[in-house]
Homo-oligomer: A and B are copies of this chain.
Amino acid sequence: MTRKSPPKRITIHDVASDAGVSFSAVSKVLRDAYGVSDALRARVNESIAKLGYTPNTAARGMRGKTHVIGVIFPDMRNPYFADVLSGISAALERTTYQMVQGIVQHSTEAALVQSMMNMQLDGLIIVGSISTSEELSGVAARLPLVVDGHHLPNATSFDTVNNDDAESGRIAVRHLVEQGYRKIAMLSLETHNGSVIERREAGYEEAMRAAGLGRHIEIARAPQSLRDIQVVTQSLIEKRVEAIFCWTDYVALEAMSVAGSLGLSIPRDVAIVGHDNTMYCGFEQNSLTSLDQSGEQSGLQAARLLIERIEGRQKAEHFLIHPRLVARRSSAAPA
Q: Roughly how many angstroms separate A156 CA and B314 CA in the complex, as a whole number?
A: 52
CB–CB A2/B58 < 8 A: no
| A82, B86: Cβ atoms closer than 8 Å | no
CA distance A314 to B1 in the complex (A): 11
**Quick check: is A76 within 8 A (CB to CB) of the other chain?**
yes
List chain B residues, Cβ under 8 A from A236.
none
Residues of chain B with a CB closer than 8 A to A70's CB: 100
Name A96-125 residues within 8 Å CB distance of B: 98, 100-103, 105-107, 111, 114-116, 118-120
Q: How far is the CB of A285 from chain B (nearest CB, A)?
A: 5
Residues of B within 8 A of A32 (CB): none
Q: Establish whether residues A102 and B105, one from each chain, have CB atoms under 8 Å apart when the complex forms.
A: no
Any chain B CB within 8 A of the CB of A37? no
Residues of B within 8 Å of A98, CB to CB, are: 107, 111, 115
Residues from chain B with Cβ under 8 Å of A60 in the complex: 58
A260 CB-CB contact with B under 8 Å: yes
Q: With A2-B141, A90-B106, A141-B7 as given contacts, are A120 and B284 in contact (CB-CB < 8 Å)?
A: no
The reply on A226 being an interface residue by CB < 8 A is yes
| Bound-state Cα–Cα, A256 to B282, Å | 12
Chain A, interface size: which category?
35 or more
Q: Assembly of this chain: how many copies?
A: 2
Measured between beta carbons, the chain B residues less than 8 angstroms from A59 are: 58, 61-62
Interchain nearest-CB distance for A297 vs B (Å)? 16
Binds B, one of A17-25, A49-57, A179-187, A192-200: A49-57
| Chain B residue at minimum C-beta to C-beta distance from A116 | B100
Q: Given the known inter-chain contacts A115-B57, A119-B57, please indicate yes or no for A105 contacting B77, CB distance below 8 A.
A: no
**Docked complex: A1-43 residues within 8 A CB-CB of B:** 1-5, 7
A59-85 residues at the B interface, CB under 8 angstroms: 59-62, 66, 68, 70, 75-77, 79, 81-82, 85
Docked complex Cα distance between A279 and B93 (Å): 32
Q: Which residue of B lies closest to A261 (CB)?
A: B284
Q: Is the CB of B283 within 8 A of A253?
A: yes
A47 adjacent to chain B (CB < 8 Å): no
Which residues on B sit within 8 Å (CB–CB) of A7? 141-142
**CB neighbours of A284 from chain B (8 A):** 256-258, 260-261
User: Residues of B contacting A61 with CB < 8 Å?
Assistant: 56-59, 61
B118 adjacent to A103 (CB under 8 Å): no
Residues of B within 8 A of A226 (CB): 279, 282
Partner pick for A77 among B82, B115, B120, CB 8 A cutoff? B82
| Nearest 10 A/B pairs, CB to CB | A58-B61, A260-B284, A89-B106, A76-B82, A257-B283, A257-B284, A57-B118, A101-B101, A58-B120, A285-B285
